Amino acid sequence: MQAPFILGLTGGIGSGKSAASHWFETQGIQVVDADIVAREVVEPDQPALHAIQAAFGDWVLDKTGALNRKALREHIFQHANARKVLEGITHPAIRQSIIQQLQDATSPYVILVSPLLLETNQHELTDRVLLIDASEDLQIERASQRDRQSIQQIRQIIQAQMPRKQKQQLAHDIVLNDGHLSHLYAHLEPLHQKYLSIAEQKKSL
């Protein structure tokens, strides 16, 4: 069977990726969220959590057997090599699970949403990239209203992400999310129609 059409959806923190992907879900399109997958692969009894425990020690688990994120974060901060070891375990597990979930999807096309789609090799899993774009001021305003993070922390995250200009150059489609949510949805609707028709063409190849 021909693989389904896979749309990659990305954008910086607070740009409106989740808002856009929820709209696509209301249209019956299945969404695989890389952030959610990253949490799923380290849930209790997942092979990646056992591998982390084997690599670092029992202290990585809390009393309930769940990953002690705070302790691991502090450890990584103090030991330069630890991040590489951790990512060597989690990245392949995340990639494998994303591929499986994309393959299992049954909607006309499927979306992979990830803040690091273009920064990592995740974009290679997709046929086309949609960028949800917003000015840095809007990103900060929205992310600081949503999260309990300080403006300083949000600025640091923005600086660690790929610059907006570079993302604009790599994306096939761009929606500037600078108005009301209804304005965002109005821009997504014709793109959805386009993706449905690309997906249909791909199916008949």
How many residues touch ligand ADP under the rule CB under 6 A: the total is: 16
| Smallest gap from residue 63 Cβ to ligand ADP (A) | 32
Stretch near ligand ADP under the rule CB under 6 A, chosen from 93-101, 140-148, 160-168, 194-202: 140-148
- The nearest distance, CB 22 to ligand ADP, in angstroms, is 8
Which residue, 35 or 96, has its beta carbon nearer to ligand ADP? 35
Of 7-26, binders to ligand ADP (CB under 6 A) are 11, 13-19
Task: List strands edge to edge, sheet with 173-176.
Answer: 30-33, 109-113, 5-10, 128-133, 173-176
Interface with ligand ADP in residues 90-129 (CB under 6 A): none
- Minimum distance of ligand ADP from residue 40's CB (angstroms): 18
Does residue number 146 form part of the binding site for ligand ADP (CB under 6 A)?
yes
User: What is the closest distance, in whole angstroms, from the C-beta atom of residue 53 to ligand ADP in the complex?
Assistant: 31
CA distance 5 to 202: 7
130: closest CA among 21, 9, 4, 5?
Answer: 9
Nearest of 137, 173, 130 to residue 17 by alpha carbon: 130
In DSSP terms, 110 is beta-bridged to 6, 30
3-state secondary structure 81-144: CHHHHHHHHHHHHHHHHHHHHHHHCCCCEEEEECCCCCCCHHHHHCCEEEEEECCHHHHHHHHH
CB of 68 to ligand ADP, least distance (A): 26
* Nearer to ligand ADP among residue 13 and residue 60 (C-beta): 13
Per-residue mark of binding to ligand ADP, 175-194 (x: CB under 6 A) = --x-xxx--x----------
Determine the Cα–Cα distance for residues 111 and 21; give it in Å rounded to an integer.
8
Piece of the chain touching ligand ADP by CB under 6 A; list 119-127, 138-146, 150-158, 167-175: 138-146
Residue 104 contacts residue 114 (beta carbons within 8 Å): no
Which segments are annotated as binding site? 14-19
Kindly list the residues in this chain that would bind ligand ADP in the complex (CB under 6 A).
11, 13-19, 142-143, 146, 177, 179-181, 184
